[in-house]
Structure 1
């Protein structure tokens, strides 16, 4: 089982690595779903994880709230992406939507272009898409060489055992063309059951390893 641990800043990273984390998603402010960390945190984390040969995914999100960004916010996100590139970050996670619940293709194209050389993850903005736009978005992301989609399968307020059927639908539709990475409510107690039910090998969460963020 490949376990991606979502962490807030650097504090728990050495412990997560020692307990078997396979990949780290680096955030600030997990209380709002994660935002971009400071440059100092990013530098030290990247250096530490490169020495341990553990890939790092940096959250690129300038604020909490919705995923509808104006031009200035997109510019900030681009600057963060260029910085990540410089530091050798392995992957970046972001998502941009329009007011009517569709993917913001123009913003996403700009952000993907600024992510050259890094894997791209479309994060849980996916769950804020209108349901009828989800399959088309999966196709669009595949066409633009995005590596993974992080999804809870529904609103985070809904327990994951009630959204597994939705996640399975996305996995079946993606048909191995892109990785669908489930998250939100997955922990070390239920991850094996969820992986078996969805027939997946990767899980994401703050508590997928016992003793981390408990």
Structure 2
């Protein structure tokens, strides 16, 4: 069965997304800037509702829009939000921290993964800012540090996903036996079957991966 992860903003669209066939929710605020962390109240109600309807939920942990190079204060905020997600029973969390030279901020990532306390950890599309030549090394590092999944477009979001399929296929091979590759960014209800079949995965992510509006 194909797992469809609906990327939603706050609680409002969750019931409709689940009715439309979403199996997992990625919970965000501010999707116009790529998603940030929701409030505790939104997170609590979303987790409760999703679990009552036998689906999974991943909470975005991102303190602001913009790049993924974070200050110590921002990382403290992210750790606090991770503790909240864990307390409230989230199935997973999505985050990513990079250095100015587009590599994983290893110290920050280790601390954030530790704060996740056993929840599934997803490296979000910050991964796509890592140069292609270093992505195998990044996959290996993430797998060794218990990251279970990478959400990736396979290239810049300005490039249609149909054109990034070849690189997504390469990423699936790089990650084989280590962690999951979750394609996103331009995956819709109309193309999800074609895209996932071409890449060779059984899951996909998107704001339009199911039709509920």
**TM-score (normalizing by structure 1):** 0.97
SS of 2:116's equivalent in the other structure is coil
C-alpha distance in 1 between matches for 2:178 and 2:120:
15
Q: What is the rounded CA distance, in whole Å, between the counterparts of 1:161 and 1:151 in structure 2?
A: 13
1:178-189 correspondence runs (5 A): 178-189=179-190
SS class of match (1:56): strand
Alignment-derived partner of residue 95 in structure 2 = 94
Q: Which runs of 5+ in 2 are unaligned?
A: none
SS at match of 1:49: helix
Q: Distance in 2 between matches of 1:176 and 1:187?
A: 27
Kindly provide the CA deviation profile for residues 113-151 of structure 1, in whole angstroms up to 9, marking residues without a partner as x.
000121000000000112222110000001011110000
Gaps of 5+ in 1: none
Rounded Cα–Cα distance in structure 2 between residues aligned with 1:207 and 1:176: 29
Instruction: Report if aligned partners of 2:17, 2:211 keep a CA contact under 8 Å in 1.
Output: no
Specify the SS of the correspondent of 1:57: strand
The question of 1:31 aligning with 2:32 is answered: yes
User: Are 2:76 and 1:104 aligned?
Assistant: no
- List structure 1 runs of 4+ shifted beyond 2 angstroms: none
1:163 aligns with 2:168: no
State how far apart, in whole Å, the 2-side matches of 1:18 and 1:101 are: 39
- Equivalents in 2 of 1:21, 1:93: separation in Å? 18
Report the 3-state secondary structure (helix = DSSP H, G, I; strand = E; otherwise coil) of the residue aligned with 2:118.
Answer: coil
Aligned to 2:173: 172
CA distance in 1, matches of 2:118, 2:102: 29
**Residues 1:46 and 2:43 are matched in the alignment:** no
Q: For the residues of structure 2 that align with 1:7 and 1:65, how far apart are their CA atoms?
A: 19
SS at match of 1:114: helix
1:72 aligns with 2:45: no
CA deviation string 1:83-141 (max 9, x = no partner):
11110110000000000010000000000000012100000000011222211000000
CA-based RMSD = 0.8
**For residue 56 of structure 2, what is the aligned residue in structure 1?**
55
Matched length: 212
- Alpha-carbon distance between aligned partners in 2 of 1:92 and 1:65, rounded to the nearest angstrom: 19
2: CA distance between counterparts of 1:94 and 1:133?
19
